[in-house]
Amino acid sequence: MEFQIIWFILWGVLWAVYFMLDGFDFGAGILQSFLGKNEAEKGMLLRTIGPVWNGNEVWLITAGGATFAAFPTTYALMFSYLYSPLLIILFSLIVRGVALEFRAKADSASWKRGWDAAIFLGSFLPALLFGVAFGNIFHGLPMDAAGYHGTLFSLLNPYGLLTGGLFVLLFIVHGALWMGIKTEGELSSRTLRVANTAWYFLLITAVAFLVYTEFATNLYANYLAAPLFLIVPLIAVLSLTGIKIFFVKGKYTAAFLASCSTIVMVTFTGVIGLYPNLIPSSIDPNYSLTIFNSSSSIYTLTIMTVVALIFVPIIIAYQIWTYRVFKHKVTADDVMEGKELY
Amino acid sequence: MDVLTLSRLQFAVTAAYHFIFVPLTLGLSIMVAYMETRYVRTNDELYLKMTKFWGKLFLINFALGVVTGITMEFQFGMNWAEYSKYVGDIFGAPLAIEATVAFFLESVFIGLWIFGWSKVSKKVHALSIWLVAIATNLSALWILLANGWMQKPVGYVLRNGRAEMVDFMAMVTNWYGWSKFFHTVLSGYVVAAFFVMGISAYHILRKNELAFFRRSFKMAALFGLVSSLLVFATGDFHAVEVAKTQPTKFAAMEVVWNTQKAAPYNLIVVPDTRDERNSVELLSIPNGLSLLAFHNPDAEVRGLKDFPKEDRPPVMPTFLSFRLMVGFGMLFMLLSFLGWIFSRKDRLKSRTLFLKIMLYSLPLPYIAAQLGWIVAEVGRQPWIVYGLLRTSDAVSKSIDTIQVVASLVGFTLVYGLLAIVDIYLLTKNAKKGPDNDLSSIMKQART
């Protein structure tokens, strides 16, 4: 297989895993201050993501780094064309990261309220804007020989916003399920109820997205050419349904895993549809950025493949191990014990 | 101002800000890991208290180091798209490897360290902070190999309208990057040593928790002494590397206008950049500069006038930053030597003047580290990749002034606010001193 294709798949994997992992952090960040009735509950909800969010976020850094190393032209143009939305994502992630670490480091109520707002915005805005960015990438960006012809506001087109809404709802369901299985008692059932309600909104948005995609993008062309790949969107739909089925049966961990699968498969539904483009041009296909015209040299791709083959399995192994260390449910005692930390 | 100037300013602001937090992380992670190891080995509760107290300050600082690092990765694409296109084939690799090899390790195990007190054994817990310490230093290595490549590009050919990597090992073994790595991480250790000594001095002056802060001070003094000696040594061999590969930078650092053999070193220099000469040169050491530059008293040192004006870096900032940095470096050796002597014989308590000096010296290594980066980056100008690509050709073409003004203002505001919060939290927790409720600490540390 050609190295470009290997890196295209890896590029998709990095984004998919990033959304799957940081997705529930975003969901938790969006919901925590609404779901927690008092400081102790908020503390517990945040504690569910406390030990893991840092490691989850690195998948984004790696996705960015991999884009730079494997497809430098795409990295350069994507980041400079999408300057303003990326800047907002960047500020949001900075604020979220600091808020999660600093919130518990002083006791006053206004201090905590301020950081709660920061956690909400720092979670909601990236969730929305990653969706908007990917919606626009699926649709294609207005670029030709003269460069880029879009603005921040042209990105906020109906399809971009719909994809943004889809991402927000995916992450809300995902985060609510995560917090639900990591907490106990009334707090847990309250959180799970939110997941259930949000799921209906997610279903409607997902259907709208699948239909609108036919009109707004070329994603389905690849599936017509190679129908075998339809298995990916099919699994996405089954997983989305699975969330509800498992939920009704009271199997919340299974529902969360179905939500993981939904996010990964939705991402790959888009990625497969993009091939061989990384960013299609919406005005002149000759200026689409493909994995072939924007990639690094074969030499660099070979080196990076070796690095990835060695280290990605190691990373996955120790990351799974730390998830197992923190597999227990978060209790009020946990929060009291490490009061200073979270 | 145009997009180029604004983008340069923004990169300078965000990089300098990022490097307020990085050096302390580099050094303090090692010190905290050592403290916790001593606790595991000796079961001495004082070491546990030290781990907790310094660990908390470490974490407050660590959070900002991480989040401001993301900005750096994004910015190459956002503001320097032409650069990224031109050199991404070779420059992207070390950045991606840094994320894969180092940043993951650091971020996963910091979570384990913060929340794992009662979840894993004492040994595994201590191991997790060692992994964080190793990972941060490894992270610095890959970033400095990337920066080393910008200073001394190796292992590439110009092909398909860009620089393409042909020899990965040449980049990985680029001595410029390695010597810079040693010099930089060691300077971070000095920052951490002075941080710990400064805060300890504050408490010792107030006769507060004497045993705790004497032990902290003593440990930091030794760490600072060894590190500041090594910073000086590595600075020396790094300067040789600069003289060999970046003659314009070296000439600006030492304001050498005319090429000369057996060049003397002038202790006091007042440059006159308009007339391209030095108006004052005093206290000359014969052959000194040739010896410094090439470890050879008769070597030829090239002067700025050998190069066209458009290829020379700004002289004054490079020269002044370098001189000040070297002066600070000497001061750090002296102060940590005195600290080591006083703390060894347990005479710290009575040395109130020295303790006051150490308290107010806390920011100095930070300043020295910033000055070092000014020498490295301003001294490389007008090149973004020395001799290969000019900074003015590297800036993104698709962004406009309004966008960059907005982002620069945004960074200044957000970073300014975070700095206030960070200083508030650090001061509050540093002044409070260690937590003495050992029962709560012990409950957390599973035996």
Distance from CA of A197 to the nearest CA of B (A): 32
Q: Specify the DSSP class assigned to residue B286.
A: T
Residue B127: which H helix or E strand, with range? helix B122-151
Measured between CB atoms, does A109 come within 8 Å of chain B? no
Chain A contact set for B73 (CB, 8 A): 61, 64-65, 68
Predicted confidence at residue B440, as pLDDT, reads 54
Could you tell me which chain B residue has the CA closest to the CA of A53? B111
* Mean pLDDT along residues B278-305: 88
Please tell me the distance from the alpha carbon of residue B86 to that of residue B383, in angstroms, as a whole number.
14
Please tell me the distance from the alpha carbon of residue B327 to that of residue B228, in angstroms, as a whole number.
12
Of B67, B87, B159, the CB nearest to A98: B67
Please state whether beta strands B277-285 and B162-165 pair in parallel, antiparallel, or not at all (unpaired).
unpaired
Cβ pair B74:A105 closer than 8 A? no
Cβ pair B108:A148 closer than 8 A? no
Q: Which candidate, A40, A86, A68, places its Cα nearest to that of A337?
A: A40
Please tell me the distance from the alpha carbon of residue A231 to that of residue A209, in angstroms, as a whole number.
18
pLDDT digits (tens, 9 = 90+) for B59-96: 999 989 989 998 998 999 999 999 999 999 999 999 99
Chain A contact set for B84 (CB, 8 A): 68, 72, 75-76, 79
Residue B53 confidence (pLDDT) above 70: yes
- Give the mean pLDDT of chain B: 92
Distance from CA of A243 to the nearest CA of B (A): 28
User: A282: domain range?
Assistant: 3-337
* Mean pLDDT along residues B276-284: 85
Cβ pair A79:B96 closer than 8 A? no
Q: Where are the domains of chain B?
A: 21-259+302-444
Asked if B197 and B356 touch (Cβ cutoff 8 Å), the reply is no
Distance from CA of A242 to the nearest CA of B (A): 30
Torsion of CA B328, B332, B334, B335, to 10 degrees: 120
Predicted confidence at residue A1, as pLDDT, reads 65
Of A105, A147, A337, the CB nearest to B397: A147
Predicted confidence at residue A163, as pLDDT, reads 96
Q: Specify the DSSP class assigned to residue A141.
A: B
Of A84, A86, A342, the CB nearest to B74: A86
Q: Which of A21-30, A328-337, B361-370, B399-408 has the lowest mean pLDDT?
A: A328-337
Of A51, A61, A80, the CB nearest to B73: A61
Q: Which long-range contacts (CB under 8 A, 24 or more apart) does A39-42 make?
A: A39/A112, A40/A332, A40/A335, A41/A187, A42/A112, A42/A116
Distances (CA, A) of B327 to B105, B248, B288: 36, 22, 17
First to last CA, chain A: 47
pLDDT digits (tens, 9 = 90+) for B296-334: 888 899 999 999 999 999 999 999 999 999 999 999 999
Predicted confidence at residue B291, as pLDDT, reads 87
Note which residues in 257-296 of chain A have CB less than 8 A from chain B: 296
Residue B6 confidence (pLDDT) above 50: yes
Measured between CB atoms, does A121 come within 8 Å of chain B? no
pLDDT digits (tens, 9 = 90+) for A180-216: 999 999 999 999 999 999 999 999 999 999 999 999 9
Name every residue whose Cβ is closer than 8 Å to that of residue A143 and which is 6 or more positions away in sequence.
A77, A81, A149, A279, A281, A282, A283, A284, A287
Distance from CA of A154 to the nearest CA of B (A): 15
pLDDT digits (tens, 9 = 90+) for A126-148: 999 999 999 999 999 999 888 88
Asked if A163 and A131 touch (Cβ cutoff 8 Å), the reply is yes
Cβ pair B81:A62 closer than 8 A? no
Q: Which amino acid is at A289?
A: L
Chain B contact set for A80 (CB, 8 A): 77-79, 81, 396-399
Distance from CA of A170 to the nearest CA of B (A): 24
Predicted confidence at residue B229, as pLDDT, reads 96
Note which residues in 300-319 of chain A have CB less than 8 A from chain B: 300, 303-304, 307-308, 311-312, 315, 318-319
Chain B contact set for A68 (CB, 8 A): 73, 76-77, 84, 88, 91-92, 95-96
Predicted confidence at residue B107, as pLDDT, reads 92
Distance from CA of B108 to the nearest CA of A (A): 4
Please tell me the distance from the alpha carbon of residue B372 to that of residue A136, in angstroms, as a whole number.
42
* Mean pLDDT along residues B136-140: 96
Cβ pair A101:B59 closer than 8 A? yes
Residue A244 confidence (pLDDT) above 50: yes
Q: Which candidate, A274, A270, A280, A28, places its Cα nearest to that of A162?
A: A270
Q: Is A342 inside any structural domain?
A: no
Predicted confidence at residue B445, as pLDDT, reads 45
Q: Which of A137-151, A247-261, B314-328, B403-417 has the lowest mean pLDDT?
A: A137-151
Asked if B280 and B268 touch (Cβ cutoff 8 Å), the reply is yes
B247 or B282: which carries more pLDDT confidence?
B247
Cβ pair A68:B89 closer than 8 A? no
Distance from CA of A241 to the nearest CA of B (A): 32
Neighbours of A159 (CB within 10 A): 18
Asked if A301 and A71 touch (Cβ cutoff 8 Å), the reply is no
Report ipTM for this prediction.
0.90
User: Tokens standing for A190?
Assistant: 């309250």
Residue B119 confidence (pLDDT) above 50: yes
Please tell me the distance from the alpha carbon of residue B106 to that of residue B100, in angstroms, as a whole number.
10
Predicted confidence at residue B439, as pLDDT, reads 52
Cβ pair A102:B63 closer than 8 A? yes
Chain B contact set for A296 (CB, 8 A): 88-89, 92, 164-165
Residue B293: which H helix or E strand, with range? helix B288-294
Q: Which of A163-172, B346-355, B417-426 has the lowest mean pLDDT?
A: B346-355
Of A51, A60, A73, the CB nearest to B112: A51
**Mutation site, B4, B21, B85, B100, interface A, largest A CB count within 10 A:** B100
B446 or B419: which carries more pLDDT confidence?
B419
Predicted confidence at residue B437, as pLDDT, reads 66
* Mean pLDDT along residues B409-437: 91
Of A66, A325, A341, the CB nearest to B114: A341
Of A54, A84, A338, the CB nearest to B111: A54
pLDDT digits (tens, 9 = 90+) for B358-385: 999 999 999 999 999 999 999 999 999 9
Phi and psi (nearest 5°) for B413? -70, -50
Kindly give the residue spans of alpha helices, DSSP state H, lying in chain A: 3-35, 39-49, 53-70, 72-81, 83-102, 109-139, 152-155, 158-182, 185-216, 220-225, 231-248, 252-274, 298-325, 332-337
Chain A contact set for B105 (CB, 8 A): 315, 318
Q: What is the CATH number of the domain that holds A206?
A: 1.20.1630.10
- Give the mean pLDDT of chain A: 92
Cβ pair B103:A72 closer than 8 A? no
Asked if A172 and A27 touch (Cβ cutoff 8 Å), the reply is yes
Cβ pair A318:B56 closer than 8 A? no
* Mean pLDDT along residues B197-214: 93
Number of domains observed in the structure of chain A: 1
Residue A100 confidence (pLDDT) above 50: yes
3-state class of A144 per DSSP? strand
Q: Which candidate, B78, B6, B74, places its Cα nearest to that of B401?
A: B6
Measured between CB atoms, does A90 come within 8 Å of chain B? yes
Please tell me the distance from the alpha carbon of residue A75 to that of residue B85, in angstroms, as a whole number.
8
Could you tell me which chain B residue has the CA closest to the CA of A327? B119
Neighbours of A191 (CB within 10 A): 28
Please state whether beta strands B389-390 and B383-385 pair in parallel, antiparallel, or not at all (unpaired).
antiparallel
Predicted confidence at residue A106, as pLDDT, reads 78
**Mutation site, B54, B64, B115, interface A, largest A CB count within 10 A:** B115
Cβ pair B164:A78 closer than 8 A? no
Neighbours of B251 (CB within 10 A): 28
Residue B442 confidence (pLDDT) above 70: no
Residue A23 confidence (pLDDT) above 90: yes
Predicted confidence at residue B446, as pLDDT, reads 40
